[in-house]
Amino acid sequence: MRNTALAIITGTSNPALAEKVCSHLGLALGQVLVGRFSDGEVRVEIGQNVRGFDVYVIQSLCPPVNENLIELLVMVDALKRASARQINAVIPYYGYGRQDQKDKPRVPIAAKVVADLLTAAGLDRLITMDLHADQIQGFFKIPVDHLYGTGVLVEQARKRLRGGDIVVAPDAGGVERARVFASKLNVDLAMMDHRDTATSPSSHIHIVGDVMGRPVIILDDMVDTGKTLIRTSEAARAAGASTIDGYCVHAVLSGGALSRLESSPLRSLTVTDTIPHSREAARSQKLRIVSVAPLLGEAIRRVHNEDSVSSLF
């Protein structure tokens, strides 16, 4: 690595991932105190000298989203006031990413609000992974390195190919992502067609493509409540799929998603560790967790060395 000193610190959102990233880079995790005052205010104190350092702050904006966001903003400000040379946020999961457009009257573009907050706090660069919409990169006036965790999932899916496999996009918005995934696996592509009507919210649900007797791979960028994923798996089963496996980068798994997963037609759901998983999730017989730490670590190494990041993909 180049001569400028490098430090990696983390908040409380996903310390296990930060430790894995540091292990990949052969570095010790930086010293920082992140706590709360008695009234709940976030308290941050950098425990080491960072003057002239390039600092990378690893913090996912996962639940509790607002707490983790404020932690990140306060850490960035603390680093700026401690004279860090460059402050880089590594946000494996970018919260508020689904609010990326004004799709109805009188609603915010919250993804832009978060971008403005991070920039105003003093951030110099953002490294993030599988944004819900690529256009979020344009909300920033600083460099954004957009990584793709689907590359990690491709390797997992390739090991389980059985012949005749087909990738299914769970909605129209995920077709391009699924197309790239299917291309890398050299398999066919299908998509879920779901149209709501005023009389029946489930009046038109079917798979566009031939899945009869074939192993189905459902790909999505995130699973929150799991309803979209499970609805797609049920449609695939109804269409005669032989097996159904899900793959997603960000496993939010809120609102009873785990119980839905266990009773769904899915044989397995492979996810990454951009978001920490509960003990209940770790015990799930259907959930398979792979780490994106090597990918994040390599991206940090390349940014620090001023090498190409895009060549990772």
pLDDT in tens, 21-57: 999 999 999 999 999 999 999 999 999 999 999 999 9
The answer to whether residue 92 is domain-embedded is yes
pLDDT, tens digit, for every residue of 110-132?
Answer: 999 999 999 999 999 999 999 99
Q: What is the pLDDT of residue 282?
A: 83
**Quick one: CA dihedral 282, 283, 289, 291, positive or negative?**
positive
Band of residue 193 on the pLDDT scale cut at 50, 70, 90: confident
Task: To the nearest 10°, report the CA torsion of 261, 272, 220, 246.
Answer: -40
Closest CA to 167 of 228, 223, 230, 232: 232
126 and 97 co-located in one domain: yes
Residues 198 and 103 in one domain: no
Q: Which residues pair with 34 in a beta bridge?
A: 44
* Enclosing H/E stretch for 40: none
The rounded distance, in Å, linking the Cα atoms of 74 and 185 is 42
In a domain, 224, yes or no: yes
Q: Quick check: 230 pLDDT over 90?
A: yes
Claim to verify: residue 128 and residue 67 sit in the same structural domain: yes
Q: 185 with 242, same domain? A: yes
Region for 200 from its dihedrals, namely left if φ exceeds 0, alpha if ψ lies in -120 to 50, beta otherwise: beta
State residue 225 phi and psi, 5-degree precision: -80, -20
Residue 201 identity: P
Please tell me the total number of residues recorded for the chain in this structure: 313
173 and 51 co-located in one domain: no
Q: Does residue 251 sit in the same domain as residue 192?
A: yes
pLDDT of amino acid 15: 97
165 contact partners, CB below 8 Å, separation of at least 6 = 185, 187, 188, 214, 215, 216, 217
Domain that holds residue 301: 6-148+293-312
Indicate which CATH number applies to the domain containing 125: 3.40.50.2020
Domain annotation covers residue 70:
yes
Strand partners, 7: 55
Does residue 1 form part of some domain?
no
Q: What does the pLDDT read at residue 283?
A: 87
Number of domains in the chain: 2
Residue 217 lies in a domain: yes
**Based on the domain organization, do 133 and 207 belong to the same domain?**
no
Domain assignment present for 132: yes
Q: How far apart are CA 203 and CA 234, in angstroms?
A: 14
Other CB atoms within 10 Å distance of the CB of residue 52: 11
**pTM, full prediction:** 0.93
What confidence category does residue 4 fall into, taking pLDDT thresholds of 50, 70 and 90? confident
Q: Please check whether residue 254 is in contact with residue 224, taking contact to mean a CB–CB distance below 8 angstroms.
A: yes
Whether residues 168 and 99 share a domain: the answer is: no
Q: Shortest CA distance to 83 belongs to which of 49, 134, 117, 124? A: 49
281 and 235 assigned to the same domain: yes
- The CA distance from 87 to 84, in Å, is 7
Task: Please check whether residue 195 lies inside any domain of the structure.
Answer: yes
For 12, 63, 169, the CA distances from 224, given in Å and listed in that order, are: 21, 11, 16
Say yes or no: 185 and 247 in one domain. Answer: yes
CA distances to 49, 92, 198, 270, 279 from 250, rounded to whole Å, are: 34, 9, 32, 10, 17
Does residue 91 fall inside a structural domain? yes
